Amino acid sequence: MVNIVDMVDSLIIPSVQNETDLEKAIQSKSSIVFILTGNLINMESYLNQLKKANKYTYIHMDFIEGLSNTKSAIKYIANVWKPTGIITTKASMIKYAKAEKLKTIQRIFLIDHSAVLKGIESSKACSPDAVEVLPGLMPTVIDQLSQKLELPIIVGGLISNKQDILSAIQAGALAVSSGSPELWSLEL
C-alpha cells in the first residue's frame, strides 16, 4: 500500500465537517480527504463517492456518530467500509487499525509544553503513519516536532489563509488539513 507521503499531492487536505461539503472535497485537487462527519448509516455512501473520485479516505474515529472506539469497530471499518485509514487521538485505536492493515493518523492537541512531550511519547509508542497537530498556527512547535518525530506532520486548526498554510509548510509540515472549502482549491 502507498505511504502517506506519496499520497499527498496537494498541500491542503479537505476535512469534511458536514455533508454539504462532500462534493466540494470530491472536486478538490487533493488526493486525500479526511471525513469528520457522518454516522453508521451514511458513511459507506460517503466513502463510495470519494473512492469513485479516486480519493484516499481517512475516517476520524472520534467524530462518526454511532461508532465506538473498540477493536471490533476497527475490524468492521477495515472489512466493510475499507477506507484508506483512520484518524484518532487514541493510541490504542492506532494499534488496532495497524493490525487490520489500515493507515493511521494520530491527532494531537498541543495546548502546552507538557502536551508536546506527551504527544511525542505517544506517537513514538504507537507508531502511526503520520501525526496531525492542532492548532496548526505554531511554526516553532511544528519545526520541533518534525525534528523529533520521524513521521510526516500534518497540521490543522485555526488555519484561515494562504500565509498560514505556507508558514506551516515552511516549518516542516507535509500538508495542512482544513475544514474551510474556500482553502481547498488554493493554488500553492
Task: List the chain domain ranges.
Answer: 4-183
Q: What is the average pLDDT across 33-43?
A: 97
pLDDT in tens, 73-129: 999 999 999 999 999 999 999 999 999 999 999 999 988 888 889 999 999 999 999
The cell for 165 is: 498554510
CA distance 76 to 82: 9
For the domain 4-183, what is the CATH superfamily, name and number? Aldolase class I (3.20.20.70)
CA distance 73 to 68: 6
Q: What is the average pLDDT value for the chain, to the nearest integer? A: 94
> Is the pTM for the entire model greater than 0.85?
yes
pLDDT in tens, 40-78: 999 999 999 999 999 999 999 999 999 899 999 999 999
Which amino acid is it at 62? D
- 154 and 176 Cβ atoms separated by less than 8 Å: yes
Question: Any bridge partners for residue 176, and if so which?
Answer: 12, 155
The pLDDT, as a whole number, for residue 112 is 86
The pLDDT, as a whole number, for residue 187 is 87
Estimate to the nearest angstrom the gap between the alpha carbon of 153 and the chain centroid.
10
Q: Is 149 helix (H, G, I), strand (E, B) or coil?
A: coil
